[in-house]
Amino acid sequence: MILELPEHRIEAVAVNHNTSAYMELMLRSFYHFHAGPYNLKMTIFDNDSQDDCQPLQDFAAQMGVAWQQSGFGIETANNSHGDVLRSFVLARPDCTHYLFLDADVVFLEADTLGTMLRELQTAPDAFGIGARMSWDGVSEIPREVTDGNPDVYSGRLHPCCALAKNTPVFRLAVQEVGMMCADLRWAERSEYLDTFKLLTKVMHTHGLRHIRSRAMVQHFFCVSYDWDEAELRLRKQTERDRKLAEFRGTTLCA
């Protein structure tokens, strides 16, 4: 059963960076668990990916998901993710919300988006809401891990599955500050701010917080880059392929 949602028009975005199989899994899991109408338009930006994009493109076309080249390639001097998200937001001024999705997210629960919409609606001092995250698709990431890494929850609205209100202050912050990574150079230390973290800090200066949803998604983490050990990378790919095969064999809700 779909409960009544606040009036909304959502622009959703994800960036493909040689992550086509993960992205197909994300889309298939999203549409499996979300029966309409959600008044949502989804766009995938592709960073000139060199992997096999065809199954992803075929499913995106089937679901009416727009496919667009980002203008960036696989190799850039710095991470291009925040630049793509900034351009996306500034080009779409007329929605009520922006939904940011990483390619390596898997939806686990029915009506995750509806849950996030309703929770955000009840928090007038929140500019955005992020899903809880799981490594294995069963349990949330342990608290001792998230407490020790503010980039997961507390320090930023993590863009792996985040819903943000389209407000004048949000758009102005995106325009003037951006959504990209940043380096802070304190007198005696440096601090790296990952995608969306500087923007989150700016929103906090306006008395606007980010909150965590009760809805949970699985997040593989870091699949766009060769940061994982070979064994872990293979383990993630095996889990991805198993779940992708399952979703390819299921009936869609939308």
Mapping DSSP onto H, E and C, the string for the chain reads CCCCCCCCCEEEEEEECCCHHHHHHHHHHHHHHCCCCCCEEEEEEECCCCCCCHHHHHHHHHCCCEEEECCCCCCCCCCCHHHHHHHHHHCCCCCCEEEEECCCEEECCCCHHHHHHHHHHCCCCEEEEEEEEECCCCCECCHHHHHHCCCCCCCCCCCCEEEEECCHHHHHHHHHCCCCCEEEECCCCEEEECCCHHHHHHHHHCCCEEEEEEEEEEECCCCCCCCCCHHHHHHHHHHHHHHHHHHHCCCCCC
Q: Where are the domains of the chain?
A: 10-248
Could you say which of 3.90.550.10, 3.40.50.880, 3.60.20.10, 3.40.50.300 is the CATH number of the domain covering 10-248? 3.90.550.10
Whether the pLDDT of residue 235 is over 60: the answer is: yes
Global pTM reads 0.94
Per-residue pLDDT tens digits for 41-99: 999 999 999 999 999 999 999 999 999 999 999 999 999 999 999 999 999 999 999 99
- pLDDT at position 1, please? 38
Averaged pLDDT score across all residues of the chain? 94
Confidence of residue 2 (pLDDT cuts 50, 70, 90): very low
Whether the pLDDT of residue 36 is over 80: the answer is: no
Per-residue pLDDT tens digits for 193-216: 999 999 999 999 999 999 999 999
